Amino acid sequence: MINSPICDILGIDYPIFQGAMAWISEAHLAAAVSNAGGLGIIAGGNAPTDYIRDQIQTARSLTDKPFGVNIMLMSPNAAEVAEMVAQEKVAVVTTGAGNPSRYMERWREVGIAVIPVVPSTGIAKLMQRAGATAVVAEGGESGGHVGDLTTMALLPQVADAVDIPVLGAGGIADGRGMAAALMLGACGVQIGTRFLVADECRVNPVYKAKVLKARDIDTMSTGRRLGHPVRSLKTPFSQEFLKKEYDSSVSDAELEKFGEGALRLAAVDGDAEHGCFLAGQISGMVKQAQPAAEIISEIMAEAETLLAAAPKWVK
Ligand code: TUI
């Protein structure tokens, strides 16, 4: 049995968060993960506020357990979503792609546990000062928006930099990754890509098939020129994006425009030509579609076995 402070703080059984995946992690996946004892998270992404409120209500009809909502701070309606989740008093708010400081007092006031995703020690410290309950330190192995540092380098530095609980994310998909994250100073993990192929995940089957088929070298990052690099599977779209990124005759605005709508095309339509299939570097390790509960119990059992056997390394 792994004993983690984050379980007591949030009232969950296992220190495993399901990472927010824009257009992908909606109420059914989040509720399945929470029902299995982890923390399910609904991704706000760029969705309209009313849609996200509906998802919260659907999740509440599917589980009595705590779940979270992720607010993507680059979304044009981020402020409106921030207020909506306060009114809904969701148990946990996680944030991505920006600094949520301006909303944190309001969230704390209504009793929400605030857990920002951070790519550096500086932002982790800022979040601690602003009253964060915990932080998720996410390395660049992850899918989606990526920071510069790897999980291996980032996680112990963030664990040293703050006194609040730290979760590790990026490149974690099994019990080995979880055990390693705990050794690096984390008290839990956030996992996205492996939950993408969960039976309860309603993403387009083409997306699942692509992740299941991917090899270790099949992801790439694009968009550095626009200031927010994104990791995705290598596809005709991502190769074309990279080409345009290196072409000085293509303006930033044109590049932004080229990327617009590509996440939806992947997740909803399964458009293998024009879609942007965000996925982490561990895609090559994700080989089996399973119920969310089975994913969680496998990861926990493997991590426990490894941690219990740790004394074998010490003479
Ligand atoms: O946010 C993520 N991952 C994401 S967001 C997303 S949605 C999307 N992506 C691409 C195109 C359209 C929509 C997909 N994946 N991870 C957490 C994360 N947060 N990574 C980096 C950051 C971050 C960056 C800057 C956190 C704070 C920050 O603060 C800078 C500042 O000072 O404002």
Cα distance between residue 17 and residue 6, in whole Å: 10
Q: Would you say residue 185 lies in a domain? A: yes
CA dihedral 56, 59, 61, 65 (to 10 degrees): -110
Same domain, 98 and 159: yes
- Strands 230-233 and 219-222, bridge-based pairing: antiparallel
Find out whether the beta carbon of 189 lies less than 6 Å from any atom of ligand 1: no
Same domain, 162 and 294: yes
Find out whether the beta carbon of 230 lies less than 6 Å from any atom of ligand 1: yes
pLDDT confidence of residue 203: 98
On the 0-12 / 13-18 / 19+ scale of CB atoms within 10 A, 20 is buried
Find out whether the beta carbon of 99 lies less than 6 Å from any atom of ligand 1: yes
Q: Would you say residue 255 lies in a domain? A: yes
pLDDT tens string 163-183: 999 999 999 999 999 999 999
Same domain, 79 and 16: yes
pLDDT tens string 253-310: 999 999 999 999 999 999 999 999 999 999 999 999 999 999 999 999 999 999 999 9
- Strands 188-191 and 113-118, bridge-based pairing: unpaired
Same domain, 147 and 210: no
Number of structural domains found in the chain: 2
pLDDT confidence of residue 302: 98
pLDDT at 3 over 90: no
Q: Which atom of ligand 1 approaches the CA of 22 most closely?
A: 7
Cα of 145 from ligand 1 centre, angstroms: 5
Residue 33 C-alpha from the chain's centroid: 13
Q: Would you say residue 165 lies in a domain? A: yes
pLDDT confidence of residue 16: 98
What the block records as the tokens of 216 is 């270790």
pLDDT confidence of residue 205: 98
Cα of 98 from ligand 1 centre, angstroms: 6
Cα of 137 from ligand 1 centre, angstroms: 12
pTM over 0.95: yes
Cα distance between residue 254 and residue 235, in whole Å: 20
Cα of 72 from ligand 1 centre, angstroms: 7
Residue 59 — pLDDT band, cuts 50, 70, 90?
very high
Cα of 304 from ligand 1 centre, angstroms: 31
Q: Would you say residue 167 lies in a domain? A: yes
Q: Would you say residue 313 lies in a domain? A: no
Cα of 147 from ligand 1 centre, angstroms: 8
The protein residue with its alpha carbon nearest to ligand 1, atom 23, reads: 97
Instruction: Give the CATH number, domain containing residue 151.
Output: 3.20.20.70
Percent of the chain scoring above 70 in pLDDT: 100
pLDDT at 33 over 90: yes
Across the range 213-228, mean pLDDT stands at: 96
Q: Where does 89-228 have alpha helices with state H?
A: 101-109, 121-129, 151-161, 175-183, 193-196, 205-213
Same domain, 73 and 127: yes
Residue found by looking up tokens 């500086």 in the block: 122
In contact, 138 and 170? CB cutoff 8 Å: yes
Bridge partner residues of 237 (DSSP): none
Same domain, 71 and 128: yes
Q: Looking at residue 96, what DSSP letter applies?
A: E
**Sign for the pseudo-dihedral over CA of 259, 261, 265, 266:** positive
Across the range 94-106, mean pLDDT stands at: 97
pLDDT tens string 227-262: 999 999 999 999 999 999 999 999 999 999 999 999
Q: Would you say residue 311 lies in a domain? A: no
Cα distance between residue 86 and residue 157, in whole Å: 31
Same domain, 170 and 232: no
- Write phi, then psi, for 132 (nearest 5 degrees): -60, 145
Same domain, 136 and 23: yes
Cα distance between residue 50 and residue 148, in whole Å: 34
Q: Return the best residue to mutate from 145, 232, 238, 263 for the ligand 1 pocket (most ligand atoms within 8 A of CB).
A: 145
Q: Would you say residue 275 lies in a domain? A: yes
Same domain, 274 and 164: no
pLDDT confidence of residue 145: 87
Q: What is the domain range of residue 229?
A: 205-282
- Write phi, then psi, for 72 (nearest 5 degrees): -85, 110
What the block records as the tokens of 276 is 């942007």
Same domain, 183 and 211: no
Same domain, 109 and 230: no
Find out whether the beta carbon of 38 lies less than 6 Å from any atom of ligand 1: no
Q: Would you say residue 90 lies in a domain? A: yes
Same domain, 156 and 266: no
pLDDT confidence of residue 1: 86
Cα distance between residue 190 and residue 183, in whole Å: 15
